[in-house]
A and B are shown apart, each in its own frame.
Chain A
């Protein structure tokens, strides 16, 4: 066998039935089997068997996979696609001889920026400054490479506000079994600091005592998806220790992408005598904010929303953490909501971590299909449960010229409005 490290045994579980094809967004938009789960698994298998000698053939198809894991759920025989994908990315990364500038920059950002709260905050300051000053002239934005993203980017909170609220939250921790650890995320905590603050407010409103340990760090999802498994394990260990030290029973997150990674720590450490059990305990304690709200007492949301509301699932929340009904149930229970189901609302929006930044063309095709579904519902509020989806949907709405009709929100923002805790 040529490449023993490839997940060969897992690829053999695939019976090539094709049941996963309708679920795969990259297959549906390209119409090309190479960009399908079955096609990708087959290529990995053929490389592992030595039928394909050029391993680099895998790069394109593996790169273009969103990692949304919709295929895994559609598969009748339970092929562990997520593991095949991550292992393959890991291997390609290890073998990659031409680690270009792009990859080195990416690794540097992943390793040195995301887990470093101080540096992230400085970046946040920079973006804030930009938004407050030059960014006010739209003309300036047009000159930037990712100008569309800049235009739809949320207004970042100022340096003082962002740094202040932290210490305030930390003291709020009380003892008792209502204690929950809030997982704040790395990018989320800078770009969407107001949503994070609303989340802790909401938790308090529902009678929980959130604590936000400073020792926590980035979840490691982007690293794992890029094949940097070693580094994501390092980050995972920090988070597990932070949780153990916090004394909380539950870990709450508000970002589906991070949540799924936290939920998968138990797989990350399988067979590790020191960490496996600790990771399992950690993963079993992870909950999305929607689950907490759904299990909390009713009647805490008094302000009528009065709008037609729809929901775009976060892939990882849906396919990995398997949180499916709670977000919808929570939305439906809000007073004044007319809920309309988004057709194909469980299908990926094309955001997928940083996919939309590196694969603009492919992500655009997926987003356009998504927007034609959004138009069918004609909702005033489009709810998301992950920052990547939030930005992607905003971009889609902006491009489709729907900004006047449809407002994109994070689930927490909608709940904050309805509970009166919004600031």
Chain B
């Protein structure tokens, strides 16, 4: 890889941007990581506040052939913003001037540094709704969400970020400004570049503005916690509910290890002797949801649920979700290092995927817990380990590879919502094949002939062909 010298970019831009360029060693280390693994020291960190500044930065980087890495809050779980070849981190989380809601058009126009939860609240103020709800909503930026095509529990009924992006403004890797899509839901003019850029993990350009579709806010919702003695019946219950004319907005699953972890961390009255519990939520018209939750209850009981708890009011509903939200922190106490995977399989394969995960747990003798958005097959197998224990980490790496293989064999995908980034890149060919890989490379080269925009992500390099977590 022959890249230019970042200090030339820094000195050329010096004094021309609103915020000071960060080059102190401490500052550089502070942008060397994300919420996944690996630390890569950048040469500088630039924090643009406007599109024009981004254009300046990219054009200068092009001039000196210096790699640049877009970054939001750095909550990525796949290494997306890591500056793997050195160069410059471009932190867009302070581009926050625009958060406009146009209720008549049912759209919002947003700067990339706005947090997902801020969009939720802004829409709510107009009785509207922005459905994508990654658990990291309070901190993740919409720029990061667009780049990762983030999802969340509501993906089952409402889809993911991609389904709400109507248009984008990006600064291309060559320094031009590209506007895609627009403010209308229907738009068939030309290639759908918007959808190409969503989920491109910052490799095709820097997002500087997003036009989002909003929907009317559902009037009511009902939630139930359903307990099963075995995993297979919980899987059957999911299928039965989904084929009975009901589309819940969330079906979340927790396995026994999760239930035990939550109970010993923040007791939430969960059954620890059960093998699985489902959290099912329906939303819509008040009368419809009342009817639907009853139906859900009946179906689950018929399929052998040992207990169904329907929240009677908002407080009880919050309590049920509270328990679900405690899973992450609760399991984090098992061991210091947490590897979150999000391999996703077709719904019908959930029980089989569970079986394989059990095998993997036993084969590698690891603390592996499973929870996740079972309604759309997006499971979150989490391995709790200790990064200081080399021998264990080797087993973890093997186990992760095997999880990926299992997902693909079952007709699923490496990642449902966290992205490929650095960690899963070696497995890309396994899922998309040689022609797919070649096409991906050519698309990347068409956008970014110099390969300076977030290099080292998605597309595997030949140096590495396995998972490395250290």
Contacts and interface: CB of A to CB of B under 8 A. Distances in A.
Contact of B75 (A17, A46, A54): A17
Interface in B4-37: 19, 22, 24-27, 29-35
B328 interface: yes
Interface stretch (B52-60, B332-340, B367-375): B332-340
B139 interface: yes
B30 A32 contact: yes
B364 interface: no
Contacts of B93: 31
A39 interface: yes
A36 B91 CA distance: 15
A15 to B, nearest CB: 6
A32 B24 CA distance: 12
A60 B29 CA distance: 14
Contacts of B75: 17-18
Contact of A19 (B26, B139, B336, B337): B139
A42 B139 contact: no
B361 to A, nearest CB: 21
B116 interface: no
Residue of A21, A34, A52 with most partner-chain B CB within 10 A: A34
B138 A32 contact: no
A247 to B, nearest CB: 37
B26 A43 contact: yes
Nearest to A21: B139
Given A32-B22, A32-B30, A51 B138 contact: no
Which of A9, A13, A32 has the largest count of B CB atoms less than 10 A from its CB? A32
A22 to B, nearest CB: 6
A77 interface: yes
Given A16-B34, A17-B136, A76-B328, A31 B338 contact: no
Given A42-B33, A43-B29, A18 B332 contact: no
Contacts of A60: 26
Interface in B289-304: none
Contact of B94 (A19, A31, A54): A31
B387 A77 contact: no
A13 B336 contact: yes
Interface in B330-355: 332-333, 336-338
A207 interface: no
A135 interface: no
A18 B30 contact: no
Contact of A16 (B24, B35, B328): B35
Given A15-B338, A77-B333, A61 B139 contact: no
Nearest to A36: B30
A328 B132 CA distance: 36
B210 to A, nearest CB: 20
B329 interface: yes
Between A15, A36, A42, the greatest number of chain B beta carbons within 10 A of the residue's beta carbon is seen for: A15
Contacts of B139: 17-19, 21-22
Contacts of B378: none
Interface residues on B, range: 20 to 34
Contact of B26 (A12, A51, A61, A76): A61
Interface string B112-128: 00010000000000000
Interface in B306-331: 328-329
A303 to B, nearest CB: 37
Nearest to A19: B139
A57 interface: yes
A52 B28 CA distance: 11
Given A31-B94, A60-B26, A77 B329 contact: yes
A151 interface: no
Given A16-B74, A33-B30, A78 B329 contact: yes
Nearest to B340: A15
Interface in A8-63: 9, 12-13, 15-19, 21-22, 31-34, 36, 39, 42-43, 46, 51-52, 54, 57-58, 60-61
B39 interface: yes
A6 B52 CA distance: 43
Contact of A15 (B26, B94, B138, B332): B332
Interface string A83-97: 000000000000000
Contact of A12 (B22, B25, B337): B337
A76 B35 contact: no
B25 A51 contact: no
A46 B29 contact: yes
Contacts of A33: 27, 30-31, 74
Given A17-B35, A22-B139, A54 B329 contact: no
B111 interface: no
Contacts of B332: 13, 15, 76-77
B150 interface: no
B30 A42 contact: yes
A42 B34 CA distance: 11
B47 interface: yes
A32 B329 contact: no
B73 interface: yes
27 contacts: A12-B336, A12-B387, A13-B336, A15-B35, A17-B75, A18-B73, A18-B75, A19-B139, A31-B47, A31-B94, A32-B22, A32-B30, A33-B30, A33-B74, A34-B22, A39-B30, A42-B29, A46-B29, A51-B39, A52-B25, A57-B25, A57-B26, A57-B29, A58-B26, A76-B332, A77-B332, A77-B333
Interface of B: 19, 22, 24-27, 29-35, 39, 47, 73-75, 93-94, 115, 136, 138-139, 328-329, 332-333, 336-338, 387-388
Which 10 residue pairs are nearest across A and B when measured between Cβ atoms? Answer: A33-B30, A39-B30, A76-B329, A34-B30, A77-B332, A12-B336, A57-B26, A77-B329, A18-B139, A16-B35
Interface of A: 9, 12-13, 15-19, 21-22, 31-34, 36, 39, 42-43, 46, 51-52, 54, 57-58, 60-61, 76-78
Given A34-B22, A76-B329, 17 more contacts: A12-B336, A12-B337, A17-B35, A17-B75, A17-B136, A18-B35, A18-B74, A18-B75, A21-B73, A31-B19, A31-B93, A34-B26, A34-B29, A34-B30, A57-B29, A76-B332, A78-B329
